[in-house]
Amino acid sequence: MEKKPSQGALETELKLRDEFFSTVAHELRNPLNALHLTLAGLMRAQSGSNPLPADQVIARINRASNQVTRLSKLVDDMLDVSRISSGRFNLQNEEFDAAAILNDVVERMKEQAEPVQISVSAPASLVMRSDRVRFAQVASNLLSNAIQYGNQNPIEIRLGSDDENVRLEVVDHGIGIATQDQERIFERFEKLGKDTPNVRFGLGLWISREVVSAMRGTIAVSSQLGEGSTFIVELPKATTAIPS
């Protein structure tokens, strides 16, 4: 007979669920409000007697587009949380060039990173067999994290391999992470720096840890407060199993 959860376990689960929805609502509200204000201001300006010049219209549309991208990323994160938590998370293995994927990720995020300089050290080609989309997701999450907490200092990305493993390093020179917090940042909704503007929502790194684990790899961070952080991902060159 299946054992029923205790009253305490049910209450804990309900509390976690309520915290989840509260956090999601808060995170979605910010880009939604920004998107609403940008579009409302643009409509008012263009319906008046002195419409904005084309360059200002384009600038406001770009801001709105960035908020839509942020919303889309948050929704994707919510879906991944649901898949991982319910055991419906699977990998689709194929051969791909990790160096090419990494360069694509950096190119895509250059506008978000400005004026931050991003340097990439990688071989011309590095073929591995794993999940192409999830590899790109991990690289994107780590780069986004470096941009957000790097104090606009240069970011270095390194990709290399040996006979069995692929190693990805993302290095920033920003606020850093205290030793006692370096495990916590990989938990869901973990927030650091609550008394400062530098608050971590916690989904991107948690999802990255779960994805890397499913790919039979490891993820770790080396950091000192005020000196930046180095996130290190090691993955097998060939993932032989497709776990849930």
Q: Which two tokens stand for residue 41?
A: 């201001």
Cis peptide before 115 (omega within 30 of 0): yes
User: In the structure, what pLDDT confidence band is assigned to residue 202 with cuts at 50, 70 and 90?
Assistant: low
Map out the domains of the chain with their CATH numbers: 7-86 (1.10.287.130), 94-236 (3.30.565.10)
Least trusted range by pLDDT, from 27-31, 64-68, 152-156, 190-194: 190-194
- pLDDT (average), residues 12-25: 68
- pLDDT (average), residues 191-197: 44
Rounded CA-CA distance 12/14 in Å is 5
Rounded CA-CA distance 133/144 in Å is 16
On the question of pLDDT at 242 being above 50, the answer is no
More confident residue, 198 or 49: 49
The pLDDT value given to residue 49:
82
Q: How do residues 72-114 score in pLDDT, each as one tens digit?
A: 777 777 776 677 766 677 788 999 999 999 999 999 888 888 8
On the question of pLDDT at 17 being above 70, the answer is no
User: In the structure, what pLDDT confidence band is assigned to residue 201 with cuts at 50, 70 and 90?
Assistant: very low
On the question of pLDDT at 135 being above 90, the answer is yes
Report the Cα–Cα distance between both ends of the chain, in Å, rounded.
Answer: 25
The pLDDT value given to residue 196:
38
pLDDT winner (highest mean) among 31-35, 100-104, 130-134, 208-212: 100-104
Q: How do residues 205-227 score in pLDDT, each as one tens digit?
A: 888 998 999 899 999 999 989 89
The pLDDT value given to residue 198:
39
Rounded CA-CA distance 50/43 in Å is 12
Q: How do residues 139-174 score in pLDDT, each as one tens digit?
A: 999 999 999 899 999 999 999 999 999 999 999 999
Rounded CA-CA distance 204/149 in Å is 13
* CB-based burial, 173-196: b 16+ in 10 Å, e otherwise: bbbbbeeebbeebbebbbebeeee
The pLDDT value given to residue 188:
67
The pLDDT value given to residue 180:
86
